[in-house]
């Protein structure tokens, strides 16, 4: 058999660029991104099917130190479980940086015998090989990886070369998903994530970590989707910030979300957003489960 398929867990500390890299590898936006740590909260499979292979990238929350709330514990469990259920680990680190969260990832990697491709991201930030090479040597001493691959997540030539490297370790077997699948998640889930992405990008301070999104209506009406979503926040003061002066912030988030959703669904979208206070939602296991954190 010449066809290859398998699961590739993309792991690393928060905000190192995992979701951005996955979107580049599959050539389509599946995972949401922002400059904030812990943007990704769930495990998401992004599926790239070509004539000779099917690569299933498992996007995971960044492993972080400290389980402050139930939602933090959930994210760490979602990330940790990926280390034992995949065929390849693609571990992303940032050139010139090594943190406590990177050490935590190292602890998990050392417990597995799965092939590890260590990707050193953002090498374009360092202008000289004299700076890059010492860091790579230091990393090789610390980590027993099968491969070390320097990259800039935004360069197509780098992602093509990375795919060739993945094929060295990808099992020979039939496709695990139908060829038209691009993710294991529902359209409703992806739509909720796109809305949360706009909230993460537009709101300041700690508010993005205190909110989540639930889709209440998702109907196809002719050639238009009619979607209604509720944004849950933890405090009344946060509700007024999300809505903004005369509703301007919520309107901006709605417009940006609608454009992203239309691009994903390839149809016109009528989007309604509401904001509701649900105090303590992020530290209540039952509430988290009802909102899909399960």
- 158 and 82 in a single domain? The answer is yes
Dump pLDDT digits (tens) for 183-208. Answer: 999 999 999 999 999 998 998 766 76
User: What's the pLDDT score for residue 26?
Assistant: 92
Is pLDDT of 126 > 70? no
- 160 and 235 in a single domain? The answer is no
Give the whole-angstrom CA distance, residue 212 versus residue 26: 26
- 45 and 139 in a single domain? The answer is yes
Domain boundary pick from 135, 167, 199: 167
- Identify the domain containing residue 250 by its residue range: 187-290
Give, rounded to a whole angstrom, the gap between the first and last alpha carbons of the chain: 37
Is pLDDT of 22 > 70? yes
Residue 26 falls within a domain, yes or no? yes
Write down the mean pLDDT value for the chain.
87
Residue whose C-alpha is closest to residue 37's, from 84, 86, 79: 79
Residue 140 falls within a domain, yes or no? yes
- 144 and 67 in a single domain? The answer is yes
Place of tokens 């239309």: 262
| Listed range (19-28, 50-59, 131-140) with the worst mean pLDDT | 131-140
- 159 and 194 in a single domain? The answer is no
- Can you state the angle between helices 18-26 and 156-167, rounded to 10 degrees? 80
Percent of the chain with pLDDT over 70: 91
Is pLDDT of 243 > 90? yes
Residue 45 falls within a domain, yes or no? yes
- 101 and 199 in a single domain? The answer is no
Number of domains comprising the chain: 2
| Listed range (139-148, 164-173, 190-199, 283-292) with the worst mean pLDDT | 283-292
Residue with the bigger pLDDT between 39 and 176: it is 176
Q: What is the mean pLDDT of residues 166-178?
A: 96
Give the predicted TM-score (pTM) of the model: 0.86
**Residue 194 near residue 237 (C-beta atoms within 8 A):** no
Q: Looking at residue 193, which CATH number applies to its domain?
A: 3.30.300.20
Q: Looking at residue 155, which CATH number applies to its domain?
A: 3.40.50.300
Is pLDDT of 249 > 70? yes
User: Mind spelling out the 3-state secondary structure of the chain?
Assistant: CCCEEEEEEEECCCCCCHHHHHHHHHCCCCCCCCCCCCCCCCCEEEEEECCCEEEEEEECCCCCCCCCCHHHHHHHHHHHHHHHCCCEEEEEEECCCCCHHHHHHHHHHHCCCCCEEEEEECHHHCCCHHHHHHHHHHHHHHCCCCEEEECCCCCHHHHHHHHHHHHCCCCECCCCCCCCCCECCCHHHHHHHHHHHHHHHHCCCCHHHHCEEEEEEEEEECCEEEEEEEEEECCHHHHHHHHCHHHHHHHHHHHHHHHHHHHHHCCEEEEEEEEEECCCHHHCHHHHHHCCCC
Query: Hey, which of 50-59, 123-132, 281-290 has the most confident mean pLDDT?
Result: 50-59
Residue 44 falls within a domain, yes or no? yes
Residue 127 falls within a domain, yes or no? yes
């Amino acid at each position: 058999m010449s066809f290859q398929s398998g699961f590739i867990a993309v792991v690393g500390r928060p905000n190192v660029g995992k979701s951005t890299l996955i979107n580049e590898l599959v050539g389509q936006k599946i995972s949401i991104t922002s400059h904030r740590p812990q943007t990704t909260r769930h495990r998401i499979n992004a599926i790239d099917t070509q004539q000779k292979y099917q690569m299933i990238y498992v996007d995971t929350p960044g492993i972080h130190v400290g389980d402050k709330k139930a939602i933090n514990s959930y994210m760490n469990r979602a990330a940790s479980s990926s280390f034992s259920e995949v065929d390849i680990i693609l571990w992303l680190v940032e050139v010139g940086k090594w943190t406590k969260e990177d050490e935590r990832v190292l602890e998990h990697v050392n417990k597995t015998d799965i092939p590890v491709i260590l990707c050193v991201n953002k090498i374009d930030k360092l202008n000289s090989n004299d700076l890059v090479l010492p860091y790579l040597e230091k990393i090789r001493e610390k980590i027993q990886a099968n491969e070390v691959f320097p990259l800039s997540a935004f360069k197509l030539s780098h992602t093509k070369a990375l795919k060739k490297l993945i094929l060295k370790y990808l099992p020979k077997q039939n496709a695990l998903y139908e060829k038209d699948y691009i993710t294991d998640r529902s359209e409703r889930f992806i739509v909720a994530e796109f809305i949360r992405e706009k909230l993460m990008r537009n709101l300041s301070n700690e508010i993005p970590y205190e909110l989540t999104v639930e889709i209440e209506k998702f109907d196809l009406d002719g050639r238009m989707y009619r979607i209604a979503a509720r944004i849950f926040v933890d405090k009344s003061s946060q509700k007024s910030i999300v809505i903004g002066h005369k509703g301007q912030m919520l309107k901006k988030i709605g417009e940006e979300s609608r454009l992203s959703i239309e691009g994903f669904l390839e149809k016109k979208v009528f989007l309604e957003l509401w904001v509701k206070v649900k105090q303590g939602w992020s530290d209540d296991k039952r509430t988290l489960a009802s909102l899909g954190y399960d």
